[in-house]
Structure 1
Amino acid sequence: MDLTSVQEAFDRVSKKQKVCYTKTQDAIDLTIHEVQAAAEHLNGIAGCSSQARKGVLMKLQQKLSEISPANQVGAAQKELNTTMAKYGKVLDKVFNPDIVKAYRDVEFDIHLINQIIAQHLYRLGLFELGDCLVNEAQEPDAASLKAPLYEMYHNLVHLHVKNLEPALNWARKNRQTLKAKGSSLEFQLHQLQFVHVLRTKGRREALEYAKLSFNIFAAQHMSDIQRLMACLLWANRLECSPYKDLISPSHWDTVALQFSRECCHLLGQAYESPLQVTLSAGAQALPSLLKLATVMSSKKQEWAEMKQMPIEIELDNVYNFHSVFACPVSREQSTADNPPMLMRCGHVLCKQSIQKLAKSNSRTFKCPYCPQEISATQCRQIHF
């Protein structure tokens, strides 16, 4: 979503509001000053004739007419209202409320949708709400991840209150799996526990904990263990030691994030909820889809009947989950109708490029990257 125009319009409104406030305040202050000056003058000539007092009031009226506070305030407010009206039009243009235009009637597997929503609720720790959905929608399969996600959520709750024992028990139980994928989660948990013991119970207890816990990690984390042993010399003053980074609160957040990722990996699940990623990507793509639907409707084309997007929808890199192939000849990205094709020489082109080079399969052609002669019938589709 392009928010640049919204930000620029907002800045103009903000600037105009400040100018309006300044002009209004100046007009009010000047009016009050003239009235107070006239009042003081009248008090000073209390014993004078009515003609003198009338002259003071006429002079005040003349000055107020010159200042014209009502006109000044009205003009400033009119300029502000004009800028505000333009800002409203910008908001209406960017944040189009009629999102139905981007809607396409697509057949969904209702059972799959129910499972995705239930698993999302379990990921958020809303287990009672997830159970309610599973029961009312009659989707018992959706509860298959409840137990492991409940265990993960339970361990994370303890991690946030600096209780590492449940997470350590989980890491010990899954030690071989974690080791096979090269994870250092268990050592990170022990490292946090060592520092916690050192700060709460003292040097002796921390040394005993190290003897019991660090032996199996010596081969992979010797330098880290040596650094932990050295910080024992600063047991009572870690805050002003060369090892003060070990007590940074960010370590707890980092380990909690790593723990969540490892749990999801062992469950064969993505770290981020598929439902959340889908909705976020859809929200980012919505302005482009609305614009496309509007343009197509003006050309009397049916948006709902299209099999693929006629334009590129730009999304952030965090939403790129699959490899993309662009044909080196046509410079176009491969699609379902124009897939990448592997030639006998090992080079890859898109199907349409091969058909053009082969004149619709009627003759052999030379590979653009090597002298090999290729026939279209010898090419086969590949999948990334």
Structure 2
Amino acid sequence: MDFSTIKNTFDRVSKKRKLESVKTQEVIDRVLQEIEQTAEQLVDCNECSKIEETAFLTRLQAQLSKYEPLTQLGAAQREVNQAFNQYGKLVEKYPFLDIAKAYRDIEFDRHSVNKIIALHFYRQGQFELGDCFIDEAQETNAAILRAPFVEMHQILEGIKDRNLKPALEWTRLHHSELNEKGSCLEFKLQQLQFVHILLESGRLAALQHARSSFKYYATLHMGEIQRLMGCLLWAKRLDCCPYRDLLDPKHWEVILIEFTKEFCNLIGQAYNSPLYVTILAGCEALPSLIKLASVMANRISEWRSLKQLPVEIQLPNSLQFHSIFSCPVSRDQSTADNPPMLMPCGHVLCRQSIQKLAKGPSQSFKCPYCPLEVYISNCRQINF
């Protein structure tokens, strides 16, 4: 089932809603401005006669009538309603999917699942919720995951407040590990710190920072350092200088992501939460699983007892993390005892499948996917 149409329609509704919100705020601000101006005029005119007060109010009424705030608000709301109605009609065309059909009884390691959930809470900075979950699930061993993420979020909060000192101190303590990985995080933080100092404290303070910090990165980052030195010539006109791209606020957003990736990597954790990745992969696979369950509706017991799915579930590249080969003939995943074998024709099967097809080491067999006759001796093992 293709949900792209529904997604695009929903995006249009969301866009209309945002535009309507902006328009509503503009109308409210305009009406409020007119009322405040009239109120100020009435306050300033302490000895105004009834006629003058009436004139002020009449002018206010005329301005509001001319501006027609209710008409403008109504027009904006009608556009949102129309888009929302179209979205509702589109959703109704799609059949209701009973996701319970795709459910199968699978044995889970309860402790591992609880650990993944607690890790997700800590990763998101929801430490009280994570502690509560661990207490109620009685998973005290999972609490060791808390301290690293407390430190990470404290540093991230500092970066959000334009305070890079905690992040720079962390990179200093882990300089050797970052160096071994070829990470540029430390220099990027120093670069961002230089621009921040130049904006906040001026040319002299930025130059002092450059002299004390950039000498360690001259070999690998001379080009970037030269651009930063060029900023000193435009200290009071940075917004119109050739290096104004260095002032882009997006650099702070990028450094948040890069720091999180490097921090998680050094503590042996993935950048994305395993719980998030699992749910995302499940959502991608759910339509195929529901379709498969419908096909096997008359064989419920077989469906419930499956140890391995009879078809491959295609996931996007972003959700593929390991090179795992599944034999197209047996549907079994390759193992050390049953590795993938490349045939002369270019097709790949697992060794056990080839042995079954050949029925003997000296006998040829036909490739299941092309007319070529193949001997086992001509097949080569593939190592991922």
1:1-384 equivalence runs, <5 A = 2-4=2-4, 6=6, 87=90, 89-91=92-94, 93=95, 95-96=96-97, 98-298=98-298, 302-325=302-325, 335=333, 339-341=338-340, 349-359=349-359, 361=360, 363=362, 365=364, 374=376, 384=384
State the 1:222 CA deviation: 1.0
Structure 2: how far apart are the matches of 1:372 and 1:3? 44
State the 1:351 CA deviation: 2.4
State the 1:3 CA deviation: 1.3
State the 1:355 CA deviation: 1.7
Alpha-carbon contact 2:325-2:334 (below 8 Å) kept: no
| Paired letter, 1:194 | F
SS of 1:107 mapped into structure 2:
coil
SS of 1:304 mapped into structure 2:
helix
Alpha-carbon contact 1:9-1:90 (below 8 Å) kept: no
State the 1:307 CA deviation: 2.1
| Paired letter, 2:162 | K
Alpha-carbon contact 2:341-2:351 (below 8 Å) kept: no
Structure 1: how far apart are the matches of 2:8 and 2:190? 51
SS of 1:163 mapped into structure 2:
coil
Structure 2: how far apart are the matches of 1:310 and 1:156? 45
Deviations 1:292-325 (A, max 9, x none): 1112114666311222222232222211111144
Provide the TM-score with structure 2 as the length reference. 0.69
Structure 2: how far apart are the matches of 1:165 and 1:264? 19
State the 1:99 CA deviation: 1.6
Structure 2: how far apart are the matches of 1:271 and 1:160? 19
Gapped regions of structure 1 (runs ≥ 5)? 11-82
The structure-2 alpha-carbon separation of the partners of 1:210 and 1:309, relative to structure 1 and needing over 3 Å to count, comes to: same
State the 1:349 CA deviation: 4.1
The structure-2 alpha-carbon separation of the partners of 1:267 and 1:373, relative to structure 1 and needing over 3 Å to count, comes to: same
| Paired letter, 1:90 | K
Deviations 1:87-130 (A, max 9, x none): 56523x1x41x221111111111111111111110001011111
Structure 1: how far apart are the matches of 2:140 and 2:295? 44
Matched pairs, number: 303
Deviations 1:245-272 (A, max 9, x none): 1000111111110000000000111100
Deviations 1:198-252 (A, max 9, x none): 0111101100010011111111111111111111101111111110010001111
Structure 2: how far apart are the matches of 1:182 and 1:230? 26
Structure 2: how far apart are the matches of 1:214 and 1:121? 38
Structure 1: how far apart are the matches of 2:87 and 2:193? 57
Alpha-carbon contact 2:324-2:333 (below 8 Å) kept: no
The structure-2 alpha-carbon separation of the partners of 1:315 and 1:362, relative to structure 1 and needing over 3 Å to count, comes to: closer
Structure 2: how far apart are the matches of 1:85 and 1:126? 35
Structure 1: how far apart are the matches of 2:301 and 2:275? 31
The structure-2 alpha-carbon separation of the partners of 1:343 and 1:366, relative to structure 1 and needing over 3 Å to count, comes to: farther
SS of 1:303 mapped into structure 2:
helix
The structure-2 alpha-carbon separation of the partners of 1:373 and 1:226, relative to structure 1 and needing over 3 Å to count, comes to: same
Gapped regions of structure 2 (runs ≥ 5)? 11-85, 368-372
Larger radius of gyration: 1
Provide the TM-score with structure 1 as the length reference. 0.69
What is residue 51 of structure 1 aligned with on the other side?
none
The structure-2 alpha-carbon separation of the partners of 1:106 and 1:167, relative to structure 1 and needing over 3 Å to count, comes to: same
Structure 2: how far apart are the matches of 1:184 and 1:192? 12
Structure 2: how far apart are the matches of 1:117 and 1:280? 15
SS of 2:304 mapped into structure 1:
coil
The structure-2 alpha-carbon separation of the partners of 1:331 and 1:192, relative to structure 1 and needing over 3 Å to count, comes to: farther
Structure 2: how far apart are the matches of 1:9 and 1:249? 31
| Paired letter, 1:179 | N
State the 1:288 CA deviation: 1.6
